[in-house]
């Protein structure tokens, strides 16, 4: 039996919002870190306005530590301007 207080968070859906410079391979570069952390992408949407792309990725299979590391990895990508992450 698992109590909510003992939940590792691996069953949560995490939402990552990434703002980056648009480019031919921007989407592939932004999605690359997800499988490396064991995340399963459940939904994604991307909107381009001028030279800025806004990517929204909902993923599961991550505990809080891996989600925080994934956010850090996304922020380190060369074309990324900002990253926000949270669970729902």
Q: Is 45 a domain residue?
A: yes
Is a pLDDT exceeding 80 seen at residue 11? Answer: no
Interval 34-70: pLDDT, tens: 999 999 999 999 999 999 999 999 999 999 999 999 9
What total number of domains does the chain contain? 1
Q: Is 14 a domain residue?
A: yes
Q: Is 5 a domain residue?
A: no
Is a pLDDT exceeding 80 seen at residue 9? Answer: no
CB-CB contact of 20 with 52 (8 Å): yes
pLDDT value, residue 1: 45
Q: How far apart are CA 20 and CA 52, in angstroms?
A: 6
36: CB partners within 8 A, 6+ apart: 73
- The whole-model pTM stands at 0.86
Q: Is 4 a domain residue?
A: no
Is a pLDDT exceeding 80 seen at residue 4? Answer: no
For residue 33, what are the domain limits?
10-87
């Amino acid at each position: 039996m698992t109590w909510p207080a003992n939940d590792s968070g691996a069953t949560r859906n995490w939402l990552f919002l990434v703002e980056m410079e648009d480019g031919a391979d921007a989407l592939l570069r932004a999605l690359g870190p997800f499988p490396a952390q064991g995340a399963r992408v459940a939904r994604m949407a991307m909107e381009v306005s001028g030279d800025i792309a806004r990517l929204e990725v909902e993923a599961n299979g991550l505990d809080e530590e891996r989600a925080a590391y994934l956010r850090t990895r996304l922020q380190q990508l060369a074309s990324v301007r900002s990253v926000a992450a949270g669970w729902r």
